[in-house]
Amino acid sequence: MGREVLRTVWQAEDMLLAGAVDIRGEGQDVSTLLGSGKTGILLVSELEQVLQETRPDVMVDFTTPTAVLANIKTALKNKVCPVVGTTGISKIDIPEINEIAKREKLGCIIAPNFALGALLMMHFAAQAAKYFPQVEIIEMHHHQKLDAPSGTALKTAEIIQEQKSNFEPGLNQEIENLPGSRGGLFDDSIRIHSVRLPGLVAHQEVIFGGPGQVLTIRHDSFSRESFMPGVLMAIRQVIHLKGVLYGLENILFEQP
């Protein structure tokens, strides 16, 4: 994702790539990641060093659940707006981030998914939730994804739950011959199943069941390029915000 963001920002006519951070490859010109000629921008391993030297407007973070909170706080401390695609941020951390961002009068966008099709999938699922008694979510990602379930699956469950709070998780007398085989239970009502395999990128099905029928809403990202229009949208919008905006749909569905 970092490489794809580098290429996308580098090619955007209304943006300048200020710097790049990675714990590996320090001192290398980012051209090795872009596949272009020399840029003069070198990889640095320390985020705060880059922020203080380049003074960017926005930081885009695709790192790990263990690093992301510290990165957000570092950006805000240095008067930089974070755009965060790293999943695994605890919901209890968001109010703290929001408080810091508002104090610094900065915007911060945290998005479980930047693919516009995935946002539409969640939007359509929220509408379908009003009419079906049961729903389950199957999310499938590449085998190197660290967190499960995905942030997108959790966000989908939250959005569905906002529309209808009385989903039935299944038969009360279910017997799991293999513990966990029925997936994780979100808020005691929505089952989420996670698949991790090589060859996958990011895929999700929301399956609604009712008398005599099933409705499946599915989204597939076959390459990381699918997330870039949403990343660009977030970069352009975050500088106009104050505080945390959680979920890119809050911008997408307000667009004229």
Helix-then-strand count for the chain, H and E: 9, 11
Task: Write the burial class of residue 221 (CB in 10 Å: 0-12 exposed, 13-18 middle, 19+ buried).
Answer: buried
Rg from Cα positions in the chain: 20
> Do residues 93 and 227 touch, judged by C-beta distance below 8 A?
no
Q: Where are any strands of DSSP class E within 190-250?
A: 190-196, 202-210, 213-221, 243-246
The verdict on whether 141 is a catalytic residue reads yes
CA dihedral 14, 55, 60, 122 (to 10 degrees): -70
> Do residues 160 and 190 touch, judged by C-beta distance below 8 A?
yes
The verdict on whether 79 is a catalytic residue reads no
Catalytic member of 73, 102, 123, 145:
145
Q: Which residues on neighbouring strands pair with residue 43, listed in sequence order?
A: 20
Catalytic member of 141, 155, 193, 219:
141
Residues with a catalytic annotation lie at 141, 145
